[in-house]
């Protein structure tokens, strides 16, 4: 049995409006989620650098070094960090370092250099100085280092 135009159901305006509302809600949600993902794309790296500077503010240099190396058990195998041992780290980031005694910090933002780099540069205002600290965060293992940029 075939149906004809005369046998079609009458147009249901409420159903059509509800369907359109659902479709636009889904589209809006996807756009909003994409915008949030873009806005917070460097949040893990910024958070890591924030933790690092917070430890420095608290003068907890051993914790700051564990964040720098992304190795909470660095004392058990210090030989694996021979390229940048704790002593050098303390000279660079301790009270006598380039930034002096760190009393305040503010993470200003992050950027990934062009060319598909393996890390992110996080820019930080330290002690309200005009010169910004630039910390490199390796995406793969979340280790910190001095920015090459």
Summarised one tens digit per residue, pLDDT across range 77-96 is 888 888 989 999 999 999 98
Integer Cα distance of 33 and 61 in angstroms: 38
- Per residue in 50-74, pLDDT (tens digit) is 999 999 999 999 999 999 998 888 8
State residue 67's pLDDT score: 94
Q: How many CB atoms lie within 10 A of CB 51?
A: 14
Tokens standing for residue 41:
């794309």
Question: 40's torsion region: left (phi>0), alpha (psi -120 to 50) or beta?
Answer: alpha
Cite the DSSP H helix spans in 58-99: 61-69, 86-93
Is the per-residue pLDDT at 2 higher than 70? no
Per-residue pLDDT, averaged over 5-16, amounts to 78
> Is the per-residue pLDDT at 134 higher than 90?
yes
Place of tokens 């910090």: 105
Name the band, by pLDDT with cuts 50, 70 and 90, for residue 117: confident
User: What pLDDT sits at residue 79?
Assistant: 85
Contacts 24+ apart (CB under 8 A), 69-73: 69/143, 69/144, 70/141, 70/142, 70/143, 70/144
């Amino acid at each position: 049995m075939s149906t004809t135009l005369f046998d079609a159901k009458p147009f249901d305006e409420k159903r059509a409006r509800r369907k359109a509302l659902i479709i636009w809600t889904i589209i809006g949600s996807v756009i909003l989620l994409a915008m949030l993902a873009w806005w917070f794309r460097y949040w893990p790296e910024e958070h890591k650098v924030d933790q690092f500077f917070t430890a420095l503010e608290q003068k907890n240099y051993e914790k700051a070094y564990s964040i720098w190396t992304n190795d909470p058990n660095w004392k058990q195998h210090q030989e694996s960090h021979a390229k940048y041992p704790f002593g050098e780290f303390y000279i660079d980031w301790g009270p006598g370092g380039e930034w002096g005694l760190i009393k305040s910090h503010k993470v200003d933002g992050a950027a990934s250099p062009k060319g598909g780099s393996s890390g992110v540069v996080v820019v930080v205002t330290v002690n309200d100085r005009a010169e910004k600290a630039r910390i490199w965060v390796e995406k793969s293992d979340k280790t910190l280092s001095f920015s090459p940029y």
